[in-house]
Amino acid sequence: MSYSLIDFAKTSKKSLLSLFEQSLSNKRNFTQSKFVSKMVGTAGLLFFEPSTRTRFSFQTACARQGVHPLVLDSYEGTSLEKGESIEDTILNLAAMKPLFFVIRCSDTVSLAEIVGTLKVPVINAGWGVKAHPTQALLDAVTLVENWGDLSGKKVLFVGDVLHSRVFGSHLELAKILGYEIAVCAPSEYRSNELSCTYFDDLDTAMDWAEAVIVLRVQNERHHQSGADQNRVNNYAEKYGMNTLRLKRLKQSGLLLHPGPINYGVELEKEVLKDSRSVVLQLVENGVFIREAIIQKILSGETI
């Protein structure tokens, strides 16, 4: 039993549905002025890789739940600059007894091992290319909010699935919640080892999909896999989401992108005006689901 949220290996459908209900209830009952007024403790928000949405929404969620967020988001000015390891940094901060940690880090950090040595719960806020469970959860709760049950729903991922931790978390989540996943991506940005439906042609894929999750081309990770040597020519033409392509999506369909967006590469700005785009709804729901995760952890419930 773990109170940490690193992946969905031990997560049940029942606990997810309870989490979604909590998140949707947080949203229904939200007012700007009604926060938890009593400070219940501190949390360590440790971002060893860049972030805007995840970091800011965890800070907001903490504030709304009476948790004081202590943020470390730069090597500069910390002992990391002096050569202290991330592992040692986390161990030392754990000794200051935060209620929980929120950690974003690269693949080179042994996050799962660290979690095993700590008594403090850890929420994975994006771990290299491995997992980004809270992003997958905010996607899923947004689909639930729009559709209800996700069983049998068809979710298409377009683009750089090879370097996407969000995609990795959705592969796990889809097995629990019962939605179907397909991929449309150039060969450079996908692995053939995955057992899911592949589409070569985006128009055909759009006809199949009920939700489309467009992924960012993760240029910063390409040097690790050699993909930059095979940079995809005419990416926007073949795989970019534009208003013409979006016409193929069902009227009840939804368009998602986790952000940040490379406009003109994987997505034209114009498509965000379409009523099926829920890109900013995702950001809004990101706070409510993270609040719900914090509430579960503080009450000792597993996710």
One residue of 22, 54, 142, 169 binding ligand CP per CB under 6 A: 54
* Least gap, CB of 293 to ligand CP (angstroms): 15
* Least gap, CB of 257 to ligand CP (angstroms): 9
Residue closer to ligand CP, measured from CB, 73 or 180 = 73
Q: What are phi and psi of 69, to 5 degrees?
A: -85, 125
Q: Counting contacts by CB under 6 A, is residue 53 touching ligand CP?
A: yes
DSSP assignment string, the chain? --S-BS-STT--HHHHHHHHHHHHHHHHT--TT----S--EEEEEEESS--SHHHHHHHHHHHHTTEEEEEE--STTSTTTTT--HHHHHHHHHTT--SEEEEEE-TTS-HHHHHHH-SS-EEEEEETTTB-HHHHHHHHHHHHHHHS--TT-EEEEES-GGG-HHHHHHHHHHHHHT-EEEEE--GGG--TT--SEEES-HHHHHHH-SEEEEPP--HHHHHHHTGGGGPPTTHHHHH-B-HHHHTTS-TT-EEE--S---BTTTB-GGGGGSTTB-HHHHHHHHHHHHHHHHHHHHTT---
* Least gap, CB of 233 to ligand CP (angstroms): 27
Extract the tokens encoding 158.
């377009």
Residue closer to ligand CP, measured from CB, 245 or 257 = 257
Q: Which stretch binds ligand CP (CB under 6 A): 52-60, 92-100, 105-113, 239-247?
A: 52-60
- 101-140 binders of ligand CP (CB under 6 A): 126, 135
Residue closer to ligand CP, measured from CB, 199 or 267 = 267
Strand 67-72 versus strand 154-158 pairing type = unpaired
Residue closer to ligand CP, measured from CB, 55 or 290 = 55
Residues in Cβ contact with 230 at an 8 Å cutoff, skipping those fewer than 6 apart: 188
* Least gap, CB of 1 to ligand CP (angstroms): 27
Residue closer to ligand CP, measured from CB, 50 or 116 = 50
- 197-256 binders of ligand CP (CB under 6 A): none
One residue of 22, 23, 26, 51 binding ligand CP per CB under 6 A: 51
Residues in Cβ contact with 148 at an 8 Å cutoff, skipping those fewer than 6 apart: none
Residue closer to ligand CP, measured from CB, 51 or 199 = 51
Residue closer to ligand CP, measured from CB, 66 or 259 = 259
Q: Which stretch binds ligand CP (CB under 6 A): 49-57, 156-164, 230-238, 295-303?
A: 49-57
Asked if residue 218 lies in contact with residue 190, where contact means CB atoms within 8 angstroms, the answer is no
One residue of 98, 128, 186, 258 binding ligand CP per CB under 6 A: 258
Given the structure tokens 């899911």, which residue do they identify? Answer: 196
* Least gap, CB of 279 to ligand CP (angstroms): 10
Q: Counting contacts by CB under 6 A, is residue 259 touching ligand CP?
A: yes
Residue closer to ligand CP, measured from CB, 54 or 277 = 54
* Least gap, CB of 57 to ligand CP (angstroms): 8
Q: Counting contacts by CB under 6 A, is residue 98 touching ligand CP?
A: no
Residues in the site for ligand CP, rule: CB under 6 A?
Answer: 51-55, 126, 135, 258-260
